[in-house]
Structure 1
Amino acid sequence: MSPITPALIKNISSSATYDNPQLKRRFEVFTRDGKLYQSEYGLDADGKESFRDTHQLEWIIGAGVNGFGAILQDDHHLFQAPLSFYSKAMDWEPSPGYEFADLGFNRPITPGCISCHSGRPNAVAGTNGKFEATPFSQLAIGCERCHGPGAAHVQLMSGEPVHSSGKGPLSDTMIINPARLTPYMADNICMACHQAGDVRVLKPGKTYRDIRPGLPLDETLSILMVPPTPEAPPSKDHVDHYYSMTLSKCYRASKGKLSCITCHDPHIEPSREEAPAYFNSKCLTCHTRQSCKLPLETRMQQKPADNCIGCHMPQRDIQVISHSTATNHRIVATPDEPFPDVTFMQTTAALPNLIHINPAHRSVSGQQADPLPLLTLLQAYGELAQDKPEYVASYLKVLSQLEQTQPNDPLVQAALGRRDLKDGNFSNAADHLRRSLQAGPAVATTYADLADALTHLGQTAEARPLIEKAIQLDPFNPITKKMLVVNLIQAKQYPEAKKSLEDYLKVFPQDDFMRQMLHRAESTTQP
Structure 2
Amino acid sequence: MMFVGLVAVVAAGGVLADYWSAHPAGITPEFVGRDTCAQCHQQELAAFTGSDHDKAMDVATETTVLGDFNDVTFEHDGLTNRLYRDGDRFMVHTEGEDGTMQEFEVKYVFGVYPLQQFMVEFDRDQDTDDCEIARLQVLRISWDSRDNRWFYLRPPDVDDKLAADDPLHWTGIAQRWQTMCADCHSTNLKRNFDPVTATYHTTFSEIDVSCEACHGPGSLHVELANESSLFWDRRYGYGLAKLKGDDAEPQLQTCAPCHSRRSVIEGDFQPGPNYCDHYRLETLGESTYFPDGQIKDEVYVYGSFIQSKMYHKGIRCTDCHDPHSLKLKHPGNETCTSCHQHAAGKYDVPSHHHHAPGSEGAKCVNCHMPHTTYMEIDPRRDHSLRIPRPDLSVQLGTPNACSHCHVKDQLAKIQPERRDDFAAMEYSQWLQAADQDGSEELGQDGQTLDELIEQTDRWCDEACDRWYGADRQRPEHFAEILVPLRRGEPGAATDALEKLSIQDERFPAIARATTLEELARRPVPGLTTVAAQLAKDPLEEPLVRAAAAGALATATPGTAKSKLLPMLQDESRLVRTSAARALLSSGAFNELSSSERTRLEGALREVHEELMQASDRSGAHMSWAMMLEQLGRFGEAIESYQTAIRVEPKTTGPRSNLANLLEQLAPRVSPQEREALQNRASKLRQQELPLMARDAKLAPNLAEIQYRYGLALYLDGQNDEALAQLEKAQELEPENPQFATAVKLLREKMDEAP
Describe the shift of the 1:170–1:366 C-alpha distance in structure 2 as closer, same or farther (beyond 3 A). farther
The SS at the match of 2:205 is strand
Question: What is the aligned partner in structure 2 of residue 260 from structure 1?
Answer: 317
Aligned partners of 1:181, 1:155: CA distance in 2, in Å? 27
Return the structure number with greater helix share.
2
Q: Give the superposition deviation at 1:192.
A: 1.0
User: Given the alignment of the two structures, is residue 216 of structure 1 paired with residue 274 of structure 2, yes or no?
Assistant: yes
Aligned partners of 2:181, 2:587: CA distance in 1, in Å? 27
Largest Rg, 1 or 2: 2
- 1:243 aligned residue (278, 284, 303): 303
C-alpha contact 1:2 1:139 (8 A) present in aligned 2: yes
Question: What is the aligned partner in structure 2 of residue 431 from structure 1?
Answer: 635
1:173-206, Cα deviation, whole Å (9 max, x unpaired): 722342226112221111111121xx4231xxx2
Aligned partners of 2:600, 2:583: CA distance in 1, in Å? 17
Return the structure number with greater strand share.
1
The two structures, once aligned, show a CA RMSD in angstroms of 5.2
Aligned partners of 2:574, 2:194: CA distance in 1, in Å? 16
Q: Give the superposition deviation at 1:124.
A: 0.8
- 1:105 aligned residue (143, 165, 171): 171
Aligned partners of 1:271, 1:183: CA distance in 2, in Å? 18
Question: What is the aligned partner in structure 1 of residue 189 from structure 2?
Answer: 121
Describe the shift of the 1:285–1:156 C-alpha distance in structure 2 as closer, same or farther (beyond 3 A). farther
Aligned partners of 1:395, 1:84: CA distance in 2, in Å? 45
The amino acid that maps onto 2:272 is G
The amino acid that maps onto 1:71 is M
The 5 A counterparts of 1:452-463 are: 452-453=658-659, 459=676
Question: What is the aligned partner in structure 1 of residue 283 from structure 2?
Answer: 225
Question: What is the aligned partner in structure 1 of residue 93 from structure 2?
Answer: 39
Q: Give the superposition deviation at 1:4.
A: 0.8
Q: Give the superposition deviation at 1:300.
A: 6.9
Describe the shift of the 1:279–1:57 C-alpha distance in structure 2 as closer, same or farther (beyond 3 A). same
The amino acid that maps onto 1:68 is Q
1:215-247, Cα deviation, whole Å (9 max, x unpaired): 411122221314569983334263341232333
Question: What is the aligned partner in structure 2 of residue 406 from structure 1?
Answer: 600
Describe the shift of the 1:430–1:380 C-alpha distance in structure 2 as closer, same or farther (beyond 3 A). same
Aligned partners of 1:4, 1:231: CA distance in 2, in Å? 39
The SS at the match of 1:192 is helix
The SS at the match of 1:39 is strand
Describe the shift of the 1:419–1:354 C-alpha distance in structure 2 as closer, same or farther (beyond 3 A). same
Describe the shift of the 1:121–1:342 C-alpha distance in structure 2 as closer, same or farther (beyond 3 A). same
User: Given the alignment of the two structures, is residue 176 of structure 1 paired with residue 249 of structure 2, yes or no?
Assistant: no
Q: Give the superposition deviation at 1:40.
A: 2.5
The 5 A counterparts of 1:309-348 are: 309-318=365-374, 321-334=375-388, 336=390, 338=392, 341-342=477-478, 344=482, 345=507, 346=509
The SS at the match of 1:341 is coil
Describe the shift of the 1:200–1:231 C-alpha distance in structure 2 as closer, same or farther (beyond 3 A). closer
User: Given the alignment of the two structures, is residue 132 of structure 1 paired with residue 201 of structure 2, yes or no?
Assistant: yes
Question: What is the aligned partner in structure 2 of residue 68 from structure 1?
Answer: 116
The SS at the match of 1:179 is coil
1:268-305, Cα deviation, whole Å (9 max, x unpaired): 34489x74165245444667522345159986742579
C-alpha contact 1:247 1:340 (8 A) present in aligned 2: no
Question: What is the aligned partner in structure 1 of residue 142 from structure 2?
Answer: 84
Q: Give the superposition deviation at 1:12.
A: 2.7
Describe the shift of the 1:378–1:461 C-alpha distance in structure 2 as closer, same or farther (beyond 3 A). farther
Describe the shift of the 1:246–1:351 C-alpha distance in structure 2 as closer, same or farther (beyond 3 A). closer
TM-score (norm: length of structure 2):
0.44
Aligned partners of 2:295, 2:576: CA distance in 1, in Å? 25
Higher RCO structure, 1 or 2 (CA under 8 Å, sep 6+): 1
Aligned partners of 2:235, 2:318: CA distance in 1, in Å? 19
Aligned partners of 1:399, 1:416: CA distance in 2, in Å? 19
Q: Percent identity?
A: 15
C-alpha contact 2:184 2:258 (8 A) present in aligned 1: yes
Question: What is the aligned partner in structure 1 of residue 264 from structure 2?
Answer: 201
The amino acid that maps onto 1:57 is V
1:135-154, Cα deviation, whole Å (9 max, x unpaired): 44212211112222111323
1:3-46, Cα deviation, whole Å (9 max, x unpaired): 1112334x43334413215xxx554433322322233339xxxx
Question: What is the aligned partner in structure 2 of residue 19 from structure 1?
Answer: 76
The 5 A counterparts of 1:264-279 are: 264-270=321-327, 275-276=331-332, 279=335
The SS at the match of 1:53 is strand
The amino acid that maps onto 1:184 is E
Aligned partners of 1:111, 1:156: CA distance in 2, in Å? 37
User: Given the alignment of the two structures, is residue 59 of structure 1 paired with residue 111 of structure 2, yes or no?
Assistant: no
Q: Give the superposition deviation at 1:368.
A: 1.6
Question: What is the aligned partner in structure 2 of residue 151 from structure 1?
Answer: 219
The SS at the match of 2:271 is coil
1:117-172, Cα deviation, whole Å (9 max, x unpaired): 22333321565995436x4421221111222211132345668xxxxxxxxx9959
- 1:2 aligned residue (58, 72, 82): 58
The amino acid that maps onto 2:477 is D
C-alpha contact 1:317 1:325 (8 A) present in aligned 2: yes
Aligned partners of 2:643, 2:343: CA distance in 1, in Å? 55
Q: Give the superposition deviation at 1:62.
A: 1.5
Aligned partners of 1:376, 1:414: CA distance in 2, in Å? 21
The SS at the match of 1:325 is strand
Question: What is the aligned partner in structure 2 of residue 192 from structure 1?
Answer: 257
C-alpha contact 2:67 2:150 (8 A) present in aligned 1: no
C-alpha contact 1:179 1:186 (8 A) present in aligned 2: yes
Describe the shift of the 1:289–1:179 C-alpha distance in structure 2 as closer, same or farther (beyond 3 A). farther
C-alpha contact 1:317 1:326 (8 A) present in aligned 2: yes
Aligned partners of 1:191, 1:54: CA distance in 2, in Å? 39
The SS at the match of 1:38 is strand
Aligned partners of 1:195, 1:153: CA distance in 2, in Å? 28
Aligned partners of 1:191, 1:367: CA distance in 2, in Å? 21
Q: Give the superposition deviation at 1:250.
A: 4.1
Aligned partners of 1:446, 1:41: CA distance in 2, in Å? 24
The SS at the match of 2:350 is coil
Describe the shift of the 1:395–1:220 C-alpha distance in structure 2 as closer, same or farther (beyond 3 A). same
Describe the shift of the 1:20–1:341 C-alpha distance in structure 2 as closer, same or farther (beyond 3 A). same
